Chains A and B, each alone.
Chain A
Amino acid sequence: MQQLLNGIFIGSIYALFAIGFTLVFGILDQLNLAHPAVFAVAAFVGIELVEVAGLSIWVALPIVLLVGALLGVLIEWVAFRPLRGRPDAHFAGLISSIALGGIFIALLQARYGPDTRRFPADSFPDERYTIAGAQVTLLQVAILVISIVLMVVLTLLVRRSRLGRGMRAIAENPTAATVLGINVSRIRTSTFALSSALGAVAGALFAMNVNSAQLGMGSAIELKGLAVIIVGGMGSLSGALVGGLALGLAEVFAVQYVGSSWRDMVAFGLLFLILLVRPQGLFGARRVREV
């Protein structure tokens, strides 16, 4: 029971991170590899807001979300927009986003040094519950609720709002969308902003959850995020959610039943197995890309 909950809590953070990843891919068909850097920057910004500015965590989190959105806009402007129209735009964007991510991390290191940082011990009420013999903290419950709420809001946004309709149109066919009078540039920027905002919140939540924020925390989760979106089906939001939870659970049960040294091997091996059975991923459509 405890392991099940461990898996769900860590899996919900993987999912939140991966959904940001997959949003850009699903709509714009581009992989934004600066996303892991946003994850790390957000954690450090969150800590700064709570520790130095003395803000409550509930004020700091929305600010982190905004900072993430701004970073998303910056990523689109700097790493992707100048390359639009080039025949190799997808590949070039991938590389320039890695470069921008590297710059973010270097700036972070210049500002904070290489040391591990963390949220102050009393920044979140230390409430604990016992559910069926398993220990759960209020923080973990809050993380799960925040993740689910953000994912639901995003899904509604994509399905119901005007912005969402524009996104889906661009995902379907960018040229046709332009012809229909949709402002493609603005929607591209909004997509990046949304994606990075989710990645940023995931970063701050992760740092709180494990009581540790490191410069390398983004690259540690990057591979997991990529695995999640491939297994879930590239570009599928519900796929990223299920994939994230699946990876979290696979990790804890690998530790439980196989052995801790084999954790990554079992978890990633399982993912390969899924791809053998369903090459398009759990929720991916073979031809038509969904958002």
Chain B
Amino acid sequence: MTYDLKIEDDATDPKQGITVFEGFVDNGTNVIIGPTLSNTAFQAQPIAQEGKTPVLAISNTATGITAQGDYIFRDSLTEAQVIPQTIAKAKEKYSLKKVVVMYSQDDAFTKSGFEVIEGALKKEGVENAKTLSFSKADTDFRALLTEAKGLNPDAIVVSGLIEAAIPLVTQARELGITAPIIGGNGFNNPRLMKDAGAAAEGVVVGAAWNSASSNEENTKFMADFKAKNGAGPDQFAAQAYTGMLLIDHAVRAKCSAERDDIKAGLGAIKDLKTPLGTISINADRDAEHDAVVQVVKDGAFTVLK
């Protein structure tokens, strides 16, 4: 089987995204992968839905992406999927009873992350001793961290972007806070170790893909990617590659590349082995697979066991 891959640039501009999508729908493209950003996706996807063309999102994490229609699928995990798994794992590992939650209150992404954290803590029966908010422009967290330290929590759970994560982690260790710091997708960035140095040790971060996973699909993907590109893949590359595996599986299932057959095939995927882990597509057309909970050890992300 051969695939004819057409690549168009949406320039992360929703208007251009719509134009590109219209082109794909009109020229009979069987399935669309992308666009990269949730923002563009919300504007462009209705075009595909109307034109009954399946879309597979491989990088969008916003809530409601797949709710736009029954032709929209996704293989990237949302914050709502990753954070609860991270907190459950951390509770098991560090026997958390009481935590302090910190989040930046003036950013939509981190605020929704905070709401997920609150729900997950309640579900796990972990007490939230205090919620401390900051602004995304803040870089001095000492007053907040001193307050947190006084409550003597078992961990500090943070919903913030990488810009906040680095000074926050550095200053926490400086003030003598030794409790684990637990972060969301915003923390899943190698810059955390590079820029926070030794302070990043012990930070727990949930993510959709574990580059060090030893499953057969992943080791093969890592080796192939390196051989072809001369550098290792990042999470987006793994999610994109997995997206193509899902589509291939869907096409083979019905032995047809017709739009409606691909749609039906994607919806029926169950327990497919991929570099991201074993994937099933749920009733909301979102992928379900285990998130990986990582902890920084000796300057690198390692799986929290």
Contacts and interface: CB of A to CB of B under 8 A. Distances in A.
Interface stretch (A30-38, A65-73, A207-215): A207-215
B198 interface: yes
A173 interface: no
A217 to B, nearest CB: 7
Interface in A1-57: 2-3, 6-7, 9-10
Interface in B128-165: 132-135, 137-140, 142-144, 146-147, 149, 162-163
Interface string A216-240: 1100100000000000000000000
Given A220-B137, A261-B105, A255 B174 contact: no
Interface string B274-299: 00000000000000000000000000
Contact of B140 (A210, A260, A261): A210
Contacts of B140: 10, 209-210
Interface residues of B, number: 28
**Secondary structure call for the B interface:** helix
B195 A118 contact: yes
Contact of A2 (B105, B137, B146, B167): B146
Nearest to A261: B133
A9 B138 CA distance: 16
B174 A135 contact: yes
Given A2-B175, A135-B174, A135-B175, A10 B142 contact: yes
B167 A211 contact: yes
Given A6-B142, A10-B140, A10-B142, A211 B171 contact: yes
Given A128-B174, A135-B174, A260-B132, A6 B146 contact: yes
A288 interface: no
A97 B134 CA distance: 30
Nearest to A130: B176
A109 interface: no
A214 B174 contact: no
A110 interface: no
Nearest to A7: B143
B23 interface: no
A121 interface: yes
Contacts of B147: 3, 255-256, 260
A185 interface: no
B134 to A, nearest CB: 6
Interface string B195-210: 1111000000000000
Given A210-B139, A261-B105, A121 B175 contact: no
B163 A252 contact: no
B149 to A, nearest CB: 8
B247 interface: no
Given A118-B195, A121-B198, A217 B143 contact: no
Contacts of A216: 137
B143 A3 contact: yes
Ordered nearest first, which 4 A-B pairs have the shortest CB separation?
Answer: A121-B197, A252-B143, A210-B139, A255-B143
Interface of A: 2-3, 6-7, 9-10, 116, 118, 121-122, 128, 135, 137, 209-212, 214, 216-217, 220, 251-252, 255-256, 260-261, 263-264
Interface of B: 105, 132-135, 137-140, 142-144, 146-147, 149, 162-163, 166-167, 170-171, 174-176, 195-198
20 contacts: A2-B146, A2-B149, A3-B146, A6-B142, A10-B140, A10-B142, A121-B195, A210-B140, A211-B166, A211-B167, A211-B195, A212-B163, A212-B167, A220-B138, A252-B146, A255-B132, A255-B147, A256-B147, A260-B144, A263-B143
Given A116-B166, A118-B195, 16 more contacts: A2-B149, A2-B175, A3-B147, A9-B142, A10-B140, A121-B195, A121-B197, A135-B174, A210-B171, A211-B195, A212-B167, A220-B137, A255-B144, A256-B147, A260-B132, A261-B105
